[in-house]
Amino acid sequence: MRILLIEDDPLLGEGLQASLQLEGYAVDWLQDGETAWAALRTDTFDLLVLDLGLPGLPGLELLQRLRRQENDVPVLILTARDAPADRVAGLDQGADDYLVKPFDIDELAARLRALLRRRGGRRSPVLSHGPVELDPARHEVRLRGKPVALPRREFSLLHLLLEHAGQVVSRSRLQEALYGWEDDVESNTLEVYIHHLRRRLGRDLIQTVRGVGYMVPGESG
């Protein structure tokens, strides 16, 4: 899953990027609103973490532009503004959640997982398909009840495919979700990850749709 983090505080931004990467996300970090607006018009993100007090284009105006363009990416506002009026304004302009600084990184991670569940129309925190279960909060995958260790990007790839079970996910969409701007991507990396997942979890779990991408058939739990 790919996050765009928009935060102008260098220390906080660097720390958040590192912490969210440890949570398994691909994280791109920008420090001003205008650059973020340009990125949102050209790239695809699964989540947006937005500070309000940004240089150039304020965070609330960025959010307004985003929703006017009918971009429905889940947005979590992360700000020092804790007055009720500020929270109301952010939520009324289209934010999905609001967290006041200082905050606990575990709470932020839990809120982001909740946003992903709501976007996918799920209530259960665990994704399942046949004998395979994935728990995003614990970073655990089980096959017939037994744990299967997966590297970070293979876990993220499986997570995205299970979130969209029954739908074909394009190669470009998968790559966008797995890699940030600073990551080097080899041409066959995605195929290697798919091969590893099939070897560990069963060849029938992930289907190839030639010329388009990949899918987990049927419905996820």
Q: What would the DSSP string read from start to end of 155-212?
A: HHHHHHHHHTTTS-EEHHHHHHHH--TT----TTHHHHHHHHHHHHH-TTSSEEETTT
Q: With the C-alpha atoms ordered 203, 172, 179, 158, is the resulting torsion angle positive or negative?
A: negative
Which residues in the chain come in under a pLDDT of 70? 181-188, 219-221
* Mean of all residue pLDDT scores within the chain: 89
pTM of the complete model: 0.77
37 by DSSP, 3-state: which? helix
> Which of the 8 DSSP states describes residue 40?
H
Instruction: Tell me the three state secondary structure of residue 75.
Output: strand
Please identify which residue in the block is written with the tokens 């909740």. 114
Long-range CB pairs of 117-120 (<8 Å, 24+ gap) are: 118/74, 119/74, 120/163, 120/164
**127-215: what fold?**
Arc Repressor Mutant, subunit A (1.10.10)
Q: Domain 2-119 is in which class?
A: alpha beta
The pLDDT of residue 182 is 65
What does the pLDDT read at residue 221? 44
> For the chain, which residues make up each domain, given as ranges?
2-119, 127-215
Q: Could you check whether 2-119 and 127-215 share the same CATH topology? A: no
At 220 the pLDDT is 42
Strand partners, 5: 29, 49
Contacts of 109 (CB under 8 A, 6+ apart): 19, 20, 23
3-state helix, strand, coil in the chain (%, to 5): 40, 20, 40
CA–CA distance, 60 with 75 (Å, rounded to integer): 11
Residue 161 to residues 43, 165, 189, 192, Cα–Cα distance (Å):
19, 6, 16, 15
pLDDT of residue 219: 54
Residue 107's pLDDT is 94
